[in-house]
Amino acid sequence: MKISKRTARDIEQTLRSIYIKIKREGRKVLKDFPITPAQFDVLQILYFGGKRRMSDISRVLGITKSTTTGLVSRLIDAGFVEKKRSDVDRRAYIIDISESGRALIEKVIERRIAYLQTVLSKFDRDRAKELKQILKELLNKMDSSETLRGNAR
C-alpha cells in the first residue's frame, strides 16, 4: 500500500514532537545533577550499549574525539563513568558507566514513564493498548526495513 508524502510528513512531525516532549520531561531530572545534556547523551550510550572505547562514543555521537574526551573527563570527575585500560589493547581505554551514572539514567527513565502514564491515563485502556501495538508494529517495520537496506549494501 502506498502512503502519501503528506501522511508520512504528518506522522514524522507527530513522532518528533512526542519525542521532544518526552525527552524534555526526562531532562527535568538533570537540573538536580551536575551534568549537561551532551554528557547525558554519553551516559545513555554507555547505559544502553555497554562499555565503549572513546572513539566509539565519538562515532555514535558524531562529535570529535577531543569533544568526547572533555565530556568523558567531566563525567569521570562527577563520578558518573569510569575509565579503565583495555584488556585487549593496553594503549586504549574503556569507558563504562558507574553505579551513580546508572542511577541517574534510571531516574530519568522513571520520570519519562510517569509522564507517559499521566498522559496515557487520558485514554481508555483499549485505546492505549492499540497505540502500544501500533507503535511496536511501526518499530518492527523500521527494524526490518533497516535489515533489508543493510543486506543490500
pLDDT tens column, 45-94: 999 999 999 999 999 999 999 999 999 999 999 999 999 998 888 888 99
Tell me the pLDDT tens digit for each residue of 80-134: 999 999 888 888 899 999 999 999 999 999 999 999 999 999 999 999 999 999 9
Interval 130-148 mean pLDDT: 89
Contacts of 119 (CB under 8 A, 6+ apart): none
CA distance 144 to 149: 9
Class of residue 97 by CB neighbours under 10 A (exposed 0-12, middle 13-18, buried 19+): buried
Cα 18 to chain center, whole Å? 14
CA atoms within 13 A on the CB side of 149: 6
pLDDT band at 149 (very low <50, low <70, confident <90, very high): low
Quote the pTM value. 0.79
Task: Residue 36: count other Cβ atoms within 10 Å of its Cβ.
Answer: 13
Tell me the pLDDT tens digit for each residue of 25-49: 988 888 888 899 999 999 999 999 9
- Indicate whether 1 pLDDT > 90: no
